Structure 1
Amino acid sequence: MIRIKMAGRVTAAVLAAGAVTALAGGPAQAATADNGRWTADLSSVDSNDVNVTGAGGTLTLADAAWHRTERVFAGSEGSLTTAAHKLGSASNRVSAELSADTPRGTSVDVDVRGRTGVNDWTEWTPAGTALKSAVSEVQVRISLHSSTDGVRPSVKSVALSADSVPQANALAATAALTYKIYATREGLTGQTTANGHVITSRDHFVALPSGRGLSGKGSGTYTVRVCKTDASRCEYAPVWDVGPWNTKDDYWNPASVRAEYKDLPQGQPEAYAAYHNGYNGGKDDLGYKVGNPAGIDLGDGVFYDGLGMSDNGNVNVTYLWTGSGPTGVVSTAGDPMNVRASASTSAAVKGLAANYAKVNIECYVEGDTVAGKFGTTNIWDRIGPNNYVSDTYLQTGSDAPVAPHC
C-alpha cells in the first residue's frame, strides 16, 4: 500500500408591528442538564453571512430590497451564522430567547445545529426542538425575512441555553435516504443563492426546498448524490440554495421531524402533490402556482456535465448527511473531479464529485497511484455503488484509510 498524504422556530409577529420578545422552546419537558446561558454575537458579520449587517450590535437586513431569486418580486431576506459554541456538557436541545423589532410583514427565525464529527453536523433544527443526538458543540443561524421592499426586522439580542430532553422518536443511524425526485435545471447565472454564493456558468451545486439542509458558502456539509435513474451517471454536489418551489419542505424526513406537510408520504415533495393532486390548492408555501413537480434544482454543471441531462426529469437523490459512517470532503483546485467505475485513472467515468462535496466513504481499495492535493497514494475510496475516487483528493482528517477494505 502506497500512502503519503499531507429550539421551536422563533417567528416574531408577522402580522402585528412592534417590539417583540419571543421565547423559543419553552420547557415542554423537564430538562436533565443545564449548560447555563450565552448570547449570540450579532456584530460578528463576515463574508459567509448573507445580506445582513450587525452595526451597533443590532442585526438587520443590509439591503431591504434585495431579491434573491426571480420568483421573489418584493421584500428581502438575510442570515447570520454564529461561530461554533462549546457546551458545558453534551445536550440535545438549544432554546433561544429573541428580542426583536418586527414591523408588519417581517419575521425572524432561529435555527441550531450540533457537531457530530470533524466535518459532520446535524440538520439545521428550529431552536427549542430536540436535535437527533446529544452534542457538545453547536452553531446558531438567525434568519431575517421581509415581504415588503424597504421594511426591515431588527434583532437586538438572542439569548441561548442548552439542555437535554427525552427523545421518544429519536432517529436511528441508518443508510442515507434515497428517493426518486423530479429535477429541474436552475440556471440563474450571476444571481445569488440562499447561502450567498454567486452562481457561475456550469456551476456545481443543487437546491432543496428547505433550509434544514443548506450548506454554508464554500462548504458541503449537506451534500446529495444525484444519479440518473439507470445509475449510468451520478454527481456528488453540495446544497447551496433553497428551492425550487418551497422553502420549508424537508420532504426527505419522516412526519415526526418534517417541518410542514406532515400528511404527505416521506420522500414526496409538496410540489409533487400540488402539481399532480392539487394539494394545498396547487400552490407552494409562498403562494405560487406550482408549474412542475420538482423537489430539487440542479446547477447547470450538475445537469449538463455531471448527469448529461438534456431536459428536466426524474433522478435518484441520496441525502448523504442522513446516513452514518466515515466521510471525506472533496478538495480540488476548484473544478469537480471524475468519479470512476474502478480504482484506475483509465476506468470509465461514472460522473463527477464537486469541490466541497462531503461524501460518504463505504470502503477502500488499492489501485493506480495518484499524486494530488494531499500527496501521493494508491488508495481509492468507494463513495457509492461502483463509484470510486482517489483518496488524495479527499480531506478525511487522517493519513490512514478511514473506512474498511472493500
Structure 2
Amino acid sequence: MRVTRSIKARRQAIACLAAALAIAPLAAIALPSSAAETDPAVVTAQPVQGSSNVKVDGNRIVLGDAPAAIGSTEIKQRSGLAELTPVRFGAATSAVVVGYTTGTPDGSSAEVDVRAWVNGRWSEWTAAKAGTPTALPGASDQVQLRIIVSAPPTGASPWVGDVTVQPTDKAAPSGMTIQAAPLQSRVFATREGLVGGTTANGHVIVSRDHFVALPSRRGLAGNGSGTYSVKVCTASRCAFEPVWDVGPWNTKDDYWNPSATREMWKDLPQGKPEAQAAYQNGYNGGKDQFGRTVANPAGIDLADGVFWDALALPDNGFVDVTYLWTGDGGRGTVSISSGYLNIRNSASSSGAVVGMAGKSAQVTVECQTTGQSVTGSQGTSSIWLRVNAGMYVAKAWVSAGSFGAC
C-alpha cells in the first residue's frame, strides 16, 4: 500500500507429517469430496498446490530460502505458507484438537490454522492453539490445516513439526457462521502496485495484475486459488478478484466478521476497517497494529489491473466490496490460464466492457441467459451468466453448474 496511492467421532483420526517426506514439487490438492477418509492408522499429510517458500525436513515444515519481500503491508520479511492435504473424518465433528511443535528463533513466528468444509465450501481459516480444542463454524467431516512461518530479513528459520488433528466435542461454538448473503461494506481502496514484489501467498506481482489484498490471513487464498474472492464495485463497473495478499496496514483485521469473532479490534462495528477508524476518528491513537501512523483509511488494496483496467479508478477512493465466502449464493469459478475475463453489459462479446474477473476468481451468478456462442476452457456454449445487474460473462470461460433463466 502506498500513502499516495464433535460430536465424539467413533473412529479417532490423526493426520501428521511423515518423516519420510522428501523435498519435492508440491502435490496437487485433492478435491474435498476425494479427501481420504482417516482411520486409526496415521494419515500422511503434505504441502499441496498453493503453498509457497517452505521445505520439508524430516517431520518438520521449515521456512524456505526465498529472500525477504515487501507486500501490501510494506513490512519486509521472509515468509512461507504450507497448506496440508485435506483430512476426512469418519463422522462429522464440531471441533478439532490440533497438535504440533514449533521452533521460532530470533524474532521469527509460526502459526497453524484450520478450516472446515461446510455447506459445500471452505470456511475461513482460524488459528489453532496446540492441544486446545478449536471450534469449527459448523459440523464437518473434512478439515484442512495451514502452516505460516515468518522471520526477519536474515537469520532465523522457523519451523512447525509433529502435526496432528483429531475430532473432539470439548469446545464452545465458534460464533463464525456463513450468512444467507455475503457481507458488503463500503471501504477505501488504494492501489497496491509493487510490480515484481511477492504477496503473502507467494504470488509474484506482474504488470496489470488481478488480485486484491485484505488485512487478515483468515481470508487469504492459496497462490492460484480463488477460494476467497471479492466483488469490488464502483457506480458503473465491477471486478471479481481473488484475495492473494495481506494488507493494507494491518494483518489481523478481519473487519468483515462480526465484532465478537473479529481477531483484533473487537469494539469496532462489523464492516469498518481499523485503518479507517484510526484515520477518521483517531482510534488506537491513529495507529495500526504495528504502531505506524495511519496515513489513509484503506481497507483494501487493489492490484494495478483491478485498479486501472477493471474499475477504471482515477485515484484512491471508496468502493463497495462484497466478501463472497461469508455468505451463500450461486457461484462460478473463472477458468482461464492467466489475466482476466471481460464482464460485458450484454450476452455478447461485442457488448461494452463494464468490469473484469481475474484468474481463478469466484463470481456470483444471479441467473443465465442465451447469447452469442463462445468457445473457451469449458467448451463451446451460448450460455451467458449474469453476475450483477446488467453484467454478464460467457459460461464458456466459467466452471459452474446450471442456473435459472434470467
Deviation of 1:149 after TM superposition, in Å, equals 2.9
Q: Which residue of 2 aligns with 1:63?
A: 65
Note if contact 2:137-2:174 (Cα within 8 Å) is conserved in structure 1: no
Q: Distance in 2 between matches of 1:255 and 1:70?
A: 24
Distance 2:269 2:262 in 1: 10
Offset at 1:369? 2.1
For residue 32 of structure 1, what is the aligned residue in structure 2? 7
Cα separation, 2, equivalents of 1:332 and 1:155:
34
Matches within 5 A, 1:196-275: 196-228=202-234, 230=235, 232-275=236-279
Matched AA of 1:405 = A
In structure 2, the residue matched to 1:177 is 183
Q: Cα distance, 1:247 vs. partner?
A: 0.4
TM-score (norm 1): 0.85
Residue 97 (structure 1) aligns with: 99
What does residue 111 of structure 1 align with?
113
What amino acid maps onto 2:249 in structure 1?
Answer: W
**Hey, what does 1:295 align to over in structure 2?**
299
Spell out the pairing of 1:74-85 with structure 2 (5 A cutoff). 75-85=77-87
* Residues 64 and 150 in structure 1, CA contact (< 8 A), matched pair in contact too: no
Q: Distance in 2 between matches of 1:65 and 1:367?
A: 49
Q: Residues 380 and 218 of structure 1: is their aligned pair in 2 closer, same or farther, counting only changes over 3 Å? A: same
Cα distance in 2 between the residues matched to 1:302 and 1:261: 28
Q: In the alignment, does 2:201 pair up with 1:195?
A: yes
**In the superposition, relative to structure 1, how do residues 265 and 235 fare at CA in structure 2: closer, same or farther (>3 Å)?**
same
Q: Which moved more, 1:299-308 or 1:365-374?
A: 365-374
- CA change 1:74–1:180 in 2 (3 A) is closer
Against the structure 1 CA distance between its residues 168 and 51, is the aligned structure 2 distance closer, same or farther, given a 3 Å change threshold?
A: closer
For the residue of structure 1 that corresponds to 2:309, the secondary structure is helix
- Secondary structure of the 1:130 match is strand
Letter in 2 for 1:340: R
Q: CA deviation at 1:328?
A: 1.1
Contact persistence 1:214–1:241 (CA under 8 A): yes
For the pair 1:126 / 2:127, whether they are aligned, the reply is yes
Deviation string 1:148-192 (CA, Å, 9 cap, x unpaired) is: 731232223122112355638463531111111100000011111
Cα distance change of structure 1 residues 285 and 310 upon mapping to structure 2, 3 Å threshold: same
Match of 2:318 among 303, 314, 317: 314
Q: Distance in 1 between matches of 2:223 and 2:96?
A: 24
Distance 2:245 2:73 in 1: 14
Paired position in structure 1 for 2:147: 142
Query: Which residue of the other structure, out of 361, 370, 373, is the alignment partner of 2:374?
Result: 370
Residue 321 of structure 2 is aligned to residue 346 of structure 1: no
- C-alpha distance in structure 2 between counterparts of 1:73 and 1:111, whole Å: 22
Q: SS where residue 259 of structure 2 aligns?
A: coil
What RMSD in Å do the two structures reach over aligned CA positions? 2.2
Amino acid at match of 2:218: R
**Is residue 2:54 matched to residue 1:52?**
yes
Offset of residue 65 of structure 1:
5.7
- In the alignment, residue 405 of structure 2 is paired with which amino acid? H
Q: 1:190 to 1:217 in 2, by over 3 A?
A: same
Q: Does 1:278 align with 2:282?
A: yes
Give the match for residue 11 of structure 1.
Answer: none
Q: Report the more deviating stretch, 46-55 or 380-389.
A: 46-55
> Given that residues 17 and 161 in structure 2 are in contact (C-alpha distance below 8 angstroms), is that contact kept between their aligned partners in structure 1?
no
Q: CA deviation at 1:147?
A: 4.2
Work out whether residues 178 and 327 of structure 2, in 8 Å CA contact, stay in contact via their aligned partners in 1.
no
**Structure 2 CA distance, aligned partners of 1:161 and 1:365?**
46
Unaligned runs of 5+ in 2: 1-5, 22-45
Letter matched to residue 145 of structure 1: S
Residue aligning to 1:405:
405
Unaligned 5+ segments in structure 1 are 1-30
What residue in structure 1 maps to residue 158 of structure 2? 153
Superposed displacement of residue 224, structure 1: 0.6
Q: How much identity, in percent, do the aligned residues show?
A: 46
One-letter amino acid of the counterpart of residue 12, structure 2: G
Question: Could you tell which deviates more after superposition, 145-154 or 192-201?
Answer: 145-154
Asked if 1 retains the 8 angstrom alpha-carbon contact of 2:17 and 2:60, the reply is no
What whole-Å deviation, never above 9, does each CA across 1:315-352 have from its counterpart, x for those lacking one?
A: 11111111213321101242311112232333232111
Query: Per-residue CA shift, 1:4-30, capped at 9, x if unaligned?
Result: xxxxxxxxxxxxxxxxxxxxxxxxxxx
Q: 2:278 is paired with a residue of what secondary structure?
A: helix
- Residue 262 of structure 1 aligns to a residue whose secondary structure is coil
